[in-house]
Structure 1
């Protein structure tokens, strides 16, 4: 690896790409074009992962596919690629700003009251405020529709109660959809667990573009994991926010639908 390539890959990872995606784009940018097998050989990205990596780069607007047999891939202009990555961060920040605004609107009156020395008219617990929750609360709220995103460490896949709830919802005519982060495919045990959810009736897709854990129930409320204060990759997830503002939930639903449309069906990806 040349010093220039090393810097480019580090910069791309800083902008949000995985190590495989960073390596693939940086290498492809220095070539007119390349087939997937040739790029896998040049980058040492496993051949079973290179198509997922290229699919993710295409979804993010960083790579274009040239029709043919075999198909070839070419990198877009680095200026356009950098802008696409920055735009993704702006979109994520905009979603968090909406959630943070609702959080402030919900809590600030009680915060000021607590510091005024006055008792609030009606005492409410933190859960009743609709602010702090647990991810497994979705089972209490979901009756006919669940839309979820999952990323490492995929805690929910180990919960048999979640599987039973998925089965109950789908058996009664409801629908459950989940978009998993592509890291799922690197662990056969996780794949097997995801298959048990699929057997219970869950529809699943896979993409590397999953940025946070989120569960939308009945298009009425959302459970959203906020970023952890610890930046380490293996750190525990951040706090879970319960959102029931109709406008915010609608925005999160649109975000999920967009992610779902770009993701790969789990059955073919696995």
Structure 2
């Protein structure tokens, strides 16, 4: 018998999960019996069973005494999971819409509170691969002229995220240059991924070592990803800086490495 707590992951409450497991163990049960077997307060059991029925997990039988029986888990639980997935998708879409609406309303308040001379207004600090990935994808989508990228292992984005990150500006015919270090070239899957994008206009050169991951967008904004020094699985903190002077200085460093780099095709051979 599974732990009723596992059913909570499908969107049931603790009482609903316990009641459903109790119903599975018998052909039919009266509410009072469900309350005893599932450890549910008697004053709550009718509400719990009504909620289970609404979710398609039990059926009520109106006879001399009202009883309940469990629905077949083979179909009921899959339908429940699909309904929960759809509900979460709706919540996600609503959350994104709300975030964008509030950002549009609160952006001017934020700007007015900082003033034009606040140096921190041009700096974003990101932690966690999900936040870094979403910001990187947004910066790539917003680029208008060029992207210069320093790619080094370990990767933060998945191959699919990297594919989206690089294909968007390449699809708009932006100048896109990528510097890869030796470990990237030694990874067969990453080398194949880079080779896949070369026909789309990606210019690639390799160097033995890159000190950090970096992307420069339109010579105006920079995304720098720094690996945290603590041991264990790689963790990163990323900083986005919107400053033309810094972008220009890091662009000079990129250009120096680019001029000394080896063409990707030759490095592969």
TM bin, normalised by shorter chain, reads 0.3 to 0.5
TM-score for the superposition, normalised by structure 1: 0.48
Asked which structure has the greater CA Rg, the reply is 2
